[in-house]
Amino acid sequence: MENLPPEALLDVAAYFQALSEPTRLQLLNILREGERNVGELAQLCGTTAANVSRHLSLLTKHGMVRRESRGTSVYYSIADQSVYDLCELVCGNIARQMQRTQEARQAFTRADSAG
């Protein structure tokens, strides 16, 4: 982000905002296994096709997902594999934070029971 103009920072923020919704993260996880159509994705996410389409539209806009029409169906796949690198980095950070919190709770519990 160093030396980016304010306009570019808005684009970066919008990219991260696209990843800030659990259903979109779930869609990306499903698409990791291969391409799917909206109906399949809706069923796997447990939501409506309209909701999935709305989320896919945003992911497509930000270049994370690609859309391909085949006859009457539209299939979606991952357009940029680096989105998984970013998610793994964030997930690793969250896992470390959770581990530290758990260790702190255990230390507090031990100190409380010793006192």
Average pLDDT over residues 86-98: 90
Query: Which single residue is written with the structure tokens 């919704």?
Result: 21
pLDDT in tens, 32-54: 999 999 999 999 999 999 999 99
- State the Cα–Cα distance between residues 113 and 34, nearest whole angstrom: 51
Query: Which single residue is written with the structure tokens 């103009």?
Result: 5
pLDDT in tens, 42-89: 999 999 999 999 999 999 999 999 999 999 999 999 999 999 999 899
Local structure of residue 63 (DSSP, 8 states): T
Query: Which single residue is written with the structure tokens 């519990």?
Result: 109
Nearest to 35 by CA among 85, 84, 79, 88: 79
Residue 115 has a pLDDT of: 60
1 pLDDT above the threshold of 80:
no
Q: Name the pTM for this structure.
A: 0.81
